[in-house]
């Protein structure tokens, strides 16, 4: 649902935290934007933010560290053509706001830039209602948070006697943002975010291996009930014990099957980044200028969807005040569009897609992914694994890299298995997937019906900025992918 009523409620919260205590009001916002508009610019906005964050970590049976922080400030931006002038301040006084506005006003106007027209009357933006407007830090007290981590450790150690070390972490964040644009748009969001992580070390015959698990989303800490904790523990301990039995991974060109869920991080890196508007406007992406062309096999449909309830990558509004959207990027193998912020959308002659994101008030927005995933197909996942004559079945991934211009990627599998004649033989360690994003997508030959999203752990980095994201996919078979191994 997209409505203005929910925005009004969140605007009231944002105003009480970011404007009222500092004597700021609508007149102050209009004055700052009017200062910028005295010079020729194409766009201008103010981005206010209040963030309160807390973290706890447990190791060797005790809580070894805890953190608590509060940050607030405003980012002031003016855009003319391709150029951006930006200033920020952690002082929310009117004097500091106007000083920042005067600073960015100095941006030089050139070419066909127009003088931005200020709206006579502010307009409340439409937005979504995807998650509760709560402070997750307050949903459990300190004693309960410590007890939660201690319970996770007990569960992991009880799972298997080979578990020799457990590390667990709990993080919660309360984020309130307010956007004021020169076109009169006023928007706000209240964004809860929680995450629980667990890492275990298992030992057998002098060999040690690591496994991890965890998850979270945009809700309170009460989400972490016994059943959910058991799933995280099972995942972490299971991965560590599997790796204890692993053998060196074979190398060469082979069939690779990717499991559902988190392996979608390969899709995020190898394809998603290449579909961000800035890279395509500049012509630096391997997908540039290819709208309407086949870039993947038939059956491959890729979405970036910021409208999924409670998901880590979801947003009621993006960081420019636009409602999040469900964007079809690749449809049945055909490239349909890119994800856009306002600057790149304007320069490319299209509409923003609700993907203007920034790490904080101290950063400029850019087109970024939210929840990026591939839709399900019609194949039984077991049938897909059984179709492998000789190849790799990768169910979890660690780090990876991608070159946007060439589309080349390198990914390390943290949990994978060697398969022969349709039967899983043994787990392998040290497998690295090497390929090219568009080429790999054209080599998809089977798509499972088991689409799942990750558990809520993703963080995406771009140009020094990190934002929470989600990934997902069904089981996929890719023919002829290069595997770098240790055998």
What are the pLDDT tens digits along the chain (487 aa)?
Answer: 677 788 899 999 999 999 999 999 999 999 999 999 887 888 999 999 999 999 999 998 888 889 999 999 999 999 988 999 999 999 999 999 999 999 888 764 444 445 556 566 788 988 999 999 999 999 999 999 999 999 999 999 999 999 999 999 999 999 999 999 999 999 999 999 999 999 999 999 999 999 999 999 999 999 999 999 999 999 999 999 999 999 999 999 999 999 999 999 999 988 999 999 999 999 999 999 999 999 999 999 999 999 999 999 999 999 999 999 999 999 999 999 999 999 999 999 999 999 999 999 999 999 999 999 999 999 999 999 999 999 999 999 987 788 888 889 998 999 999 999 999 999 999 999 999 999 999 999 999 999 999 999 999 999 999 999 999 999 999 999 999 987 6
Find the domain containing 384 and state its range: 247-484
Q: How many CB atoms lie within 10 A of CB 233?
A: 27
Same domain, 373 and 390: yes
Same domain, 351 and 475: yes
Per-residue model confidence (pLDDT) at position 156: 97
Structure token digits, residue 346: 């304007």
How far are the Cα atoms of 28, 79, 122, 160, 447 from residue 181, in angstroms, in the given order?
A: 13, 12, 9, 56, 43
Same domain, 219 and 326: no
Q: What are the phi and psi torsion angles at 388 (to 5°)?
A: -80, 125
Same domain, 361 and 463: yes
Same domain, 264 and 318: yes
**Domain of residue 13, CATH code:** 3.30.2290.10
Same domain, 275 and 389: yes
Same domain, 126 and 142: yes
Q: Name the residue among 380, 422, 376 with its Cα closest to residue 264.
A: 376
SS3 call for 313 = coil
Q: Point out the domain boundary residue: 230, 245, 260.
A: 245
Q: Name the residue among 346, 326, 256, 331 with its Cα closest to residue 297.
A: 331
Query: What is the number of structural domains in the chain?
Result: 2
Per-residue model confidence (pLDDT) at position 110: 44
Alpha carbon distance 44, 191 (integer Å): 24
What does the angle CA 51 – CA 54 – CA 55 come to, to the nearest 5 degrees? 140
Strand partners, 59: 62, 167
Per-residue model confidence (pLDDT) at position 117: 60
Q: Point out the domain boundary residue: 245, 261, 276.
A: 245
How far are the Cα atoms of 295, 301, 333, 341 from residue 337, in angstroms, in the given order?
A: 12, 12, 12, 13
At a CB cut-off of 8 Å and minimum separation 6, what does 20 contact? none
Same domain, 235 and 268: no
Same domain, 110 and 148: yes
Same domain, 262 and 338: yes
At a CB cut-off of 8 Å and minimum separation 6, what does 142 contact? none
Q: Point out the domain boundary residue: 228, 245, 262.
A: 245
Same domain, 168 and 271: no
Same domain, 7 and 87: yes
Strand partners, 37: none
Per-residue model confidence (pLDDT) at position 423: 97
Burial class for 387, CB neighbours closer than 10 Å (0-12, 13-18, 19+): middle
CB 179 within 8 A of CB 214: no
Per-residue model confidence (pLDDT) at position 119: 62
Per-residue model confidence (pLDDT) at position 112: 45
């Amino acid at each position: 649902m997209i409505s203005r009523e929910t925005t009004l409620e969140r605007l009231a919260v944002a105003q009480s935290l970011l404007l009222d205590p500092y004597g700021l009001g609508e007149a102050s916002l209009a004055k700052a934007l009017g200062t910028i508009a005295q010079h020729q610019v194409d766009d201008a906005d103010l981005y206010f933010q209040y963030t309160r964050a807390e973290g706890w970590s447990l190791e060797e049976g005790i809580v070894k560290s805890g953190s608590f922080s509060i940050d607030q400030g405003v980012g002031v931006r003016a855009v003319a053509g391709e150029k951006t002038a930006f200033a920020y301040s952690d002082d929310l006084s009117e004097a500091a706001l106007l000083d920042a506005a005067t600073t960015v006003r100095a941006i030089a106007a050139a070419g066909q830039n127009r003088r931005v027209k200020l709206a006579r009357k502010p307009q409340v933006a439409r937005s979504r209602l995807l998650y509760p407007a709560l402070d997750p830090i307050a949903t459990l007290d300190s004693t309960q948070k410590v007890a939660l981590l201690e319970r996770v450790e007990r569960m992991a150690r009880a799972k298997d006697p080979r578990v020799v070390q457990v590390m667990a972490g709990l993080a919660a964040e309360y984020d309130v943002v307010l956007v004021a644009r020169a076109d009169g748009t006023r928007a706000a969001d209240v964004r809860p975010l929680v995450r629980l992580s667990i890492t275990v070390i298992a030992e057998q015959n002098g060999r040690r291996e690591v496994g991890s698990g965890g998850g979270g989303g945009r809700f309170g800490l009460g989400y972490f009930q016994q059943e959910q904790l058991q799933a995280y523990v099972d995942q972490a301990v299971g991965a560590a014990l599997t790796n204890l039995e692993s053998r060196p991974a074979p190398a060469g060109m082979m069939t690779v099957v990717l499991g559902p869920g988190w392996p979608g991080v390969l899709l995020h890196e190898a394809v998603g980044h290449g579909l961000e508007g800035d890279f395509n406007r500049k012509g630096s992406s391997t997908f540039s200028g290819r709208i309407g062309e086949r870039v993947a096999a038939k059956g491959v449909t890729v979405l970036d969807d910021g409208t999924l309830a409670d998901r880590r990558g979801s947003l009621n509004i993006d960081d420019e005040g636009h409602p999040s959207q469900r964007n079809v990027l690749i449809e049945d193998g055909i490239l349909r569009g890119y994800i856009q912020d306002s600057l790149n959308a304007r320069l490319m002659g299209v509409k923003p897609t609700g993907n203007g994101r920034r790490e904080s008030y101290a950063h400029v927005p850019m087109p970024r992914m939210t929840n990026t995933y591939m839709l399900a197909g019609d194949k039984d996942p077991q049938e897909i694994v059984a179709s492998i004559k000789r190849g790799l079945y990768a169910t979890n991934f660690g780090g990876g890299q991608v070159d946007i211009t060439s589309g080349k990627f390198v990914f390390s599998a943290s949990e994978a298995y060697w398969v022969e004649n349709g039967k899983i033989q043994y787990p392998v360690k040290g497998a690295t997937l090497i390929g090219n994003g568009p080429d790999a997508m054209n080599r998809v030959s089977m798509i499972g019906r088991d689409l799942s999203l990750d558990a809520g752990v993703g963080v995406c980095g771009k140009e020094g900025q990190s934002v929470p994201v989600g990934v997902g996919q069904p089981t996929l078979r890719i023919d002829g992918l290069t595997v770098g191994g240790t055998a």
